[in-house]
Amino acid sequence: MNAAWTKKISILLIGLMVLMAGCNFSGKSSTEPAENKEGDKQAEQAEGKSENVLNLSLDNDIPDLNQVKTTDAISFAVLNNVMEGLYRLDENNEPQPAMAESYEKSEDGLTYTFTLREGIKWSNGDPVTANDFKYSWLRSMHPDTAGAYASILTDYIKGGAEFAAGEAEVDAVAIEVKDDKTLVVELVQPTPFFLGLTAFVTYFPLNEKFVSEQGDKFALTHDAILYNGPFILTDYDQAKGVSMDKNQEYWDKESVALEQVNMKVIKEQSTALNLYEAGELDKVYLSSADVDSYKDSPEFNTETEFRTYFIQFNLGKEPFQNKNILKALQLGYDPEVLTSVVLNNGSEPAYGLIASDMAGVEGKSFREIQGDVIKPDAEKAKELWEKGVEELGKTPEIELLISDDTVSKDTGTFLQSEYKKNLGIDISLDTQPYSARLDSMRADDYQMAVNRWGADYNDAMTYLNLWANPSNPFFRGNYVNEKYKELVNSAAEDADDQSRIEKLLEAEKLILEDGALGPLYYDGLSFLQKPYLKGLVTHPYGASPDLKWATVQ
């Protein structure tokens, strides 16, 4: 999740939560009139909230709520609460029946037959049908639409890749609607995590009639989206945030306690913390500067996500064709200093690409099996840098692209300091809004960038397939290695767990030893949460958070 470039996520996520109750985007206010504000705040914090209104925040703007186009964890965080797939992840990250009531799997593991629930509806009262899923999935795959996350469909559904490439007709895609309640899907190879994929944003349904009526306006405003999840949007502004109300047409509305949710874009963590302290926010993620001050608070907690931050070196740009320069920048900083001193939020230093707790084989995580791949070495980095400069005949200029949120800016400043100390060089920072950074990377308009990938599902393939094929919509950095491609593609077709994981282990080593990426940290988050907020579920992969079961008591 980028999360996606930000996912599958996630869990999207993200520094995702806090909000000013008074700024409710045409929704209901969760504060009383100003003259009673302070007294009411104190009473609420002492006795709990009297209204089931939840106020959260997003740490960056919302790039796109068109599920066919969106690729980022922040958009996923919104969509996950207003839409729903065949299955939904529960509090234990296990897929549970949602739009689907049940499924059957063929003995060879290739064919899934889903039976949809009775009484499931869109927010306008139309029934949700099996064709809504087929239409949505094909819309993402269609070569004319070029869905940004189509690969999470085409990698697994038979005929999808050929259709998306324009090499086959739509009838070749193995998605069959037997009737309004029955959807049959045939896979390319057995995929143990396929049920979990059906909980992912790209697998959500779309109402064909509604989408056609909206045309180019689809998903640009809150009333240009049709909803089938626990909530509906009542207001939406990319730069300001969203407001949601409980969806009265939702099949499981009895499980939804919240009447309203507000998510406001707040990029500065210090601003969010001030709002939390004022009683106007229900959860806030902490910056490194604030962790020590609050770590003994009963409201303090931590959570982990399957999300890795790393430097994406653009191998198509100078000076990164020079291997010595590339490796010097990869080895010339210390992730331990970044996590313990700069971030100080529960994140772990990364010496590999795959997140620390991601599944491996035989009960061991991928990281347990692999161990560290890349370790910092300032002395060697300096030696490589000087050799590279000699080969180039000049000292190259280096520019690092970062997002404009607090954590990204702190990370950029840290790398400036490390490179100055260890290599004796000054690098410049190109600081852009989150959406703009994503656009710059898509356009290949950067030299090196602080990037992140959140897992879409609990398997190392969610990371490693990003660089296996330049046609992947998330392919960044111009890394091309035929052996790497062969390892990843072979692993995708390998039904033997041990053989498959060995190929993925080798692939991770190869891409890092080639210097395509510079691991920074595995994301951990420290936060404060009001004691009256219960049942808010976050997932380490896929789309997160999940507010279906949350309540303000």
Rounded CA-CA distance 340/336 in Å is 6
Give how many domains the chain has, as a whole number: 2
CB atoms within 10 A of CB 248: 11
In a domain, 282, yes or no: no
For the chain, 553 residues long, give each residue's pLDDT as a single digit of tens: 544 333 333 333 334 333 333 333 333 333 333 333 333 443 444 344 558 999 999 998 999 999 999 988 899 999 999 999 999 999 999 999 999 999 999 999 999 999 999 999 999 999 999 999 999 999 999 999 878 889 999 999 999 999 999 999 999 999 999 999 999 999 999 998 899 999 999 999 999 999 999 999 999 999 999 999 999 999 999 999 999 999 999 999 999 999 999 999 999 989 999 999 999 999 999 988 899 999 999 999 998 889 999 999 999 999 999 999 999 999 999 999 999 999 988 899 999 999 988 989 999 999 999 999 999 999 999 999 999 999 999 999 999 999 998 899 999 999 999 999 999 999 999 999 988 999 999 999 999 999 999 898 889 999 999 999 888 878 999 999 999 999 999 998 888 889 999 999 999 999 999 999 999 999 998 999 999 999 999 999 989 999 999 999 8
Contacting residues for 171 by C-beta, under 8 A, at least 6 apart = none
In a domain, 288, yes or no: no
For residues 493 and 540, state if they share a domain: no
Helix (H, G, I), strand (E, B) or coil at 490: helix
Which residues, in sequence order, are bridge partners of residue 522? Answer: 308, 348
Rounded CA-CA distance 300/317 in Å is 44
Rounded CA-CA distance 407/185 in Å is 41
For residues 434 and 538, state if they share a domain: no
Token pair for 443: 């356009």
For residues 355 and 256, state if they share a domain: no
Crossing angle for the helix pair 323-331 and 378-392, to the nearest 10 degrees: 150
In a domain, 27, yes or no: no
For residues 237 and 164, state if they share a domain: yes
Cα 485 → chain centroid: 24
Rounded CA-CA distance 261/278 in Å is 18
Token pair for 382: 């300096």
For residues 114 and 228, state if they share a domain: yes
For residues 205 and 311, state if they share a domain: no
In a domain, 114, yes or no: yes
Q: Which of 86, 69, 3 is nearest to 545 (CA)?
A: 3
For residues 201 and 343, state if they share a domain: no
Q: Which of 365, 403, 348, 502 is nearest to 58 (CA)?
A: 403
For residues 55 and 131, state if they share a domain: yes
Please report, for the domain that includes residue 338, its CATH number.
Answer: 3.10.105.10
In a domain, 481, yes or no: yes
For residues 244 and 376, state if they share a domain: no
For residues 229 and 152, state if they share a domain: yes
- Please report, for the chain, how many H helices and E strands are present, in that order: 18, 21
For residues 234 and 355, state if they share a domain: no
Rounded CA-CA distance 25/32 in Å is 16
- Structural domain for 80, as ranges: 34-268+530-552
Please report, for the domain that includes residue 222, its CATH number.
Answer: 3.40.190.10
In a domain, 287, yes or no: no
In a domain, 230, yes or no: yes
In a domain, 1, yes or no: no
The 3-state secondary structure of 254-286 reads HHCCCCEEEEEECCCHHHHHHHHHCCCCCEEEC
For residues 461 and 537, state if they share a domain: no
Task: Count the helix, strand and coil residues of the chain and give each as a percent rounded to the nearest 5.
Answer: 35, 20, 45
